[in-house]
A = this chain, B = another copy of it.
Amino acid sequence: MASTSSPDARARLGQDSKSKEDLELASAYVSDAQYNRNIFFDTSPQAVRLYLHYNRRLPRVLLYFFILLDLSLAACEEPAVVPLPPWATMLAELLCLHVFALRLVHYAKVIPRDKFWKDPKNICMIAILALTLLDMIIYGALHAAGCYALRWSRVLRPLLLVNVTEGRQLRRAFRSIRNALPQILSVFLLFIFSILIFSLMALKLFNKRGLKTSDGAPYFSNYADAVFDLYVLVTTANSPDVMMPAYDASSAFAVFFIVYILVNTFIFMSVFLAVVFNNYKKYLKEEVRQLVRAKRHKMARAFAVLQERPEDGGEPAVSRASWNRLVRLVQPDISHAHTQLLWSVSDERNRGAIDKMAFVQLADLLNIQVMTLKSRPHPLGRLCPAFYRSAPSRLLCRWVQHRAFAVAYDIIIVINAVFIGLDEDRPAIGNSEWAFLALYLLEILLKLYVIEPRGFFAAHNFWNWFDTVIVVCALIATIINTALKSSGGYTSRQILDIVFILRVLRLIRVVDSINRFRTIMNTLIRIGPAILTFGQLILVVYYVFAVAGMELFKGKVKFYEDAGDPAAGDCGNPLLRGSAFARLGYCKNNFNNVVNAFVLLVQLTVVNQWHVLSSGFAAVTHKSARIYFVLFHITVVIIIINIFVAFVLEAFFLEYSLDKSDLHTELEKKIEELQLGVAQEAAEDNLVNAMETSDHEQPADQSESSKPKLMFKIASKRYRTVDALLQRLFEVDLEQEDVDADADANADANADPRDANANIANPSFSAA
């Protein structure tokens, strides 16, 4: 690994003309700052080039594809949804392991060797790969010998998601959970103590009374059952059943259960949320603070690489030429106009070069998605201007853009909803679907007539895309359905289902017309991407529990498609005869394949009836099987769901606490200053402008001459996530620290910027 830097080469080239290597190094820093990557890459030119390759989109997409492939192998392994022979799945897994190993080797070539071996995530990756390989060999040997073999390494698979370089967000989530654990543990122990005390009391009060549950089972007959029953009561799943026998015996016993529920369900569960929320906030803020600091430092390094010292001994600065080359290297698809805009924002005083303070902003500026809206003339206006600019045509355009047009279509949607609700077997109503489809199509065509198509289908126009996709799909599905029906009288249920779903989805659009809903919707949509991190977190935990559950409980409970089958009554297991599990028809809630296991885990997450499920599986195996279900409850419901709630709360509070003025970035101000911006409606939502109705589109046909040909519009979804908001909040705090850090960076820069990399204060990374 070539970890030596090349100061000689750079010295020969001279400080003022920036070499390709310098630009690449600077672009690596800027790109890392832009995407909040914290990688101590080696600064030799070869390593930097390798590093730039490492960060390209294709290898990352491939990596995630192979992780997904590896994870989805569970569907084909015993117990399988689609059974494949073991050699096939193992071959596929071997391929995945190769890809992961390759990626790891690439990473090892990019960063200094000592850094590589100090990083727990790399050690974890190597351990996962080695253990998986070992398991495959053992399994292969045992399988060949005809012995019973267990693929235990499958529980390690989801850890890949956590330990790949890109799993930053996920590692952060796990870290914040780990940091909150000691405090959660205190409350949890007190909570368990409370349950134990109440159980003892319940045992003493009810044991000797000879009460029976509604199933005729003994009531609080031993301590372990009492603890389990009362733990279930905390989750409210067996309320009020667990109380009824005692309450029937005497009304006074209701007091016991009411006190229990008040203390354990209401107070302790709120305290859990409080502790989780508080720790989540605390560590999140600390991590974001470190991220902001690391970003500043990286930009300072990039500046140190690119800076040129003017002849007159003034402040070091970056020339426009270097800056242009850098930006094009960092973001190759950037438009010329956009680059010009960014430069004009950075170089406010038009000096032809920018100083450090202006340069450091670049990472944030690049994160703001600016669209260059060229106010193109409508194609029809170009093709037959006489017709398009005629009075009737102009009148039509005015109509379509009128508020009444939108209201009319909202009314049509409501009428459509009523028609959907009515029985579609009556031919009049069945045919009305064609009318509504025609109306919706007409709406889209009219809007396309008025609005320039590329503007209409711009990436940020969520509702335009939504409408068009839904209507076109519904049209196709309806045609196929009608064709099938008329040809042989046969109707495919699947296609009909799709038609129904599409029809109903169309109704959602009405929400966007109502202002009070739009704000909430936009907040929800904004939270969306971050919920994906929670999706991964849940996936990791679910996968581990699903694989463990399949090994423990596969084949114990069977589902029979034919309800008349005599075995269907007890789910194919005589031990379940007469149990609540079989009586309620929960046979399909089993661990016989990974899909069923996931659905079962969702049901456990929702909590209700989890005691019936756990008792069912305890009945077919052993009482201790309940431990699996209680563990799942503690992990997912008490910890992860609370983190999720904490996250939603925090996102909403940030939304409320920041008003519009805080969010006006430099760039936005500049755009306004240059009067290039598109007029935005004041009544609009206060955070996300990204999702707009087509009503706000810039009509291209009017007064073209008076408007500039080039317009910018900010559609900065990414910049306005919770993280970004927090980062902005902390940037104020960091101003002072930053000045000190700058002094250091300058000192380093005079020596050699390439080696100063190690000084960057990064958050410590570790595996989950």
Contact = CB atoms under 8 A, between A and B. Distances in A.
A200 B507 contact: yes
A620 interface: no
A193 interface: yes
Contacts of A439: none
Contacts of A275: 652
A683 to B, nearest CB: 15
A273 B645 contact: yes
Interface stretch (A141-149, A580-588, A709-717): A580-588
B606 A265 contact: yes
A732 interface: no
Contacts of A201: 500-501, 504
A606 B261 contact: yes
Nearest to A187: B520
A205 to B, nearest CB: 6
Main secondary structure on A side of the interface with B: helix
A248 B599 CA distance: 12
B656 A239 contact: no
A656 B279 CA distance: 10
Contact of A517 (B186, B236, B649): B186
A248 B584 CA distance: 12
A652 B236 contact: no
Interface in A268-288: 270-271, 273-275, 277-278
A445 to B, nearest CB: 26
A278 B190 contact: no
Contact of A420 (B200, B247, B595, B644): B200
Given A190-B517, A190-B521, A520-B187, A609 B240 contact: yes
B274 A240 contact: no
Contacts of A278: 652-653, 656
A244 B563 CA distance: 13
A725 to B, nearest CB: 15
A478 interface: no
Interface in A222-251: 223, 236-241, 243-245, 247-248, 251
B241 A584 contact: yes
Contacts of A417: 200
Interface in A682-709: none
Contact of A603 (B239, B497, B608): B239
Contacts of A589: 240, 244
Interface string A518-542: 0111001000000000000000000
Nearest to A587: B248
Nearest to A268: B524
A435 interface: no
A644 B266 contact: yes
A254 interface: yes
Nearest to A265: B606
Nearest to A257: B602
Contacts of A520: 186-187, 190, 271
**Which residue of A240, A520, A607 has the most chain B CB atoms within 10 A of its CB atom?**
A240
30 contacts: A186-B517, A186-B520, A189-B516, A190-B521, A193-B517, A200-B421, A203-B421, A204-B501, A204-B504, A223-B421, A236-B608, A237-B608, A238-B608, A239-B603, A239-B606, A239-B608, A240-B589, A240-B603, A243-B603, A244-B586, A248-B559, A251-B596, A261-B606, A265-B606, A270-B644, A270-B648, A273-B649, A274-B653, A277-B649, A278-B652
Interface of A: 186-187, 189-190, 193, 197, 200-201, 203-205, 209, 214, 223, 236-241, 243-245, 247-248, 251, 254, 258, 261, 265-267, 270-271, 273-275, 277-278, 417, 420-421, 493, 497, 500-501, 503-504, 507-508, 511, 516-517, 519-521, 524, 559, 561, 583-586, 588-589, 595-596, 599, 602-603, 606-609, 641, 644-645, 648-649, 651-653, 656
